[in-house]
Homo-oligomer: A and B are copies of this chain.
Amino acid sequence: MTLIHAEDMEAIATGAAVYGTGGGGDPYLGKLLAQQAMRTHGPVELIPLDALHGDDLVVPVALVGAPTVMLEKLPGIDPLVLALRQLEVRLGRCAKAMMCIEVGGLNSTIPFSVASVTGLPLIDGDTMGRAFPELQMTLCTLTGIDACPMTLADEKGNALTVQAVDNAFTERFVRSISMDMGGASYAALYAMTVVQARRALVPGSISMVQRCGLAVFNARARHEDPVAALLDATGGQYLFQGKVTDVQRRTDGRFNRGTAQLQGTGDCQGQTLELLFQNEFLLARTPQQVLCSTPDLIVAVDQESAEPVTAEQIRYGLRVAVIGIACVPAWRTAPALELVGPRYFGYDIEYQPLAQRATP
């Protein structure tokens, strides 16, 4: 058992932004929420799944909607607790631990705030090993765990329960309800027993994210290269460095979509890279070849500080390094690629694992 205190959230938030691969919302906000909760309600126990009984209930909570909206409509803790409590009422039983649905972005820091307020421990793990833009894109879906019943709540006090026939329908309902709730909403979903969770969990991913953040902080403190430290901590692969020359983006209500153009600098001088995103960075390609694609992770960080750059922050003039990180093996099966592979997002390319792709 590890206790996570308010000050630990710094490294977790930075690591979560790395694994958020540009999406999942700004973990900065989730960090502030978690820290605020911890200062009043105390630290959070981070526990391995095996610390619980097989039929204990674990409940992930998450923010749903376009991350951009969260920049104006700041998240709160009360609606998350409301969503959790409504789900408990629906299920007729209480959660024994909180969980992160994804280890990237806001949704890997938000559950800390609920865990702190409710006094529940948080499972060290998540159901993606990264962040993805749609609700059904979890290892739960692949292992037959239903997102429903799920509850959605908002800061006004509205709470809806969704019992859909499949996770794709759930996604559909949730997105339009989130729009009605002001572009983003608070969800408790994928409630599961510990036995079920064993099939869907990427174990230890919260600790991993924390170590990743610490590696960057330590490198900065020692005046070493934080990008190199990041590559080392994540086992990532250096893909490109360059200056952002153009960004096209649109928020279509459900997602932040767009493209960023990069002009190579340093050893990439004279080359260009295109980053395509739908909340997360999903495809990195030069005019000649694809360097990395979903489900592998594409991370853009500031060249100097290795501070992760989200898809909603990326803008003209930023100098970034682009890093690829191999996804967890479970995402590389045929059914997994149907769920989260390049073709699902409309990119007409075959998925090739990062290690097999050539570097520029």
Contact = CB atoms under 8 A, between A and B. Distances in A.
Contact of A159 (B157, B163, B179): B163
A158 B176 contact: no
Interface stretch (A164-172, A214-222, A322-330): A164-172
Interface string A258-274: 00000000000000000
Interface residues of A, number: 19
Contact of A158 (B158, B160, B169, B177): B169
A162 interface: yes
Nearest to A177: B173
Contacts of A160: 160-164, 173
Contact of A177 (B90, B156, B157, B177): B177
A23 B161 CA distance: 30
A86 interface: yes
A179 B173 CA distance: 9
Interface string A73-115: 0000000000000100010000000000000000000000000
A161 B162 CA distance: 6
Contacts of A165: 156-158
Contacts of A173: 158, 160, 177, 180
Contacts of A180: 172-173, 176
A164 B158 contact: yes
A163 B169 contact: no
21 contacts: A90-B90, A90-B161, A156-B165, A156-B169, A157-B165, A158-B162, A158-B164, A158-B165, A158-B169, A158-B173, A159-B163, A160-B160, A160-B164, A160-B173, A161-B161, A161-B163, A172-B180, A176-B177, A176-B179, A176-B180, A177-B177
Given A158-B165, A159-B163, 19 more contacts: A90-B90, A156-B169, A157-B165, A158-B162, A158-B163, A158-B169, A158-B173, A160-B160, A160-B161, A160-B162, A160-B163, A160-B164, A161-B161, A173-B177, A173-B180, A176-B176, A176-B177, A176-B180, A177-B177
Interface of A: 86, 90, 156-165, 169, 172-173, 176-177, 179-180
Q: Which 5 A-B pairs have the closest CB atoms?
A: A161-B161, A176-B176, A159-B163, A157-B165, A158-B164
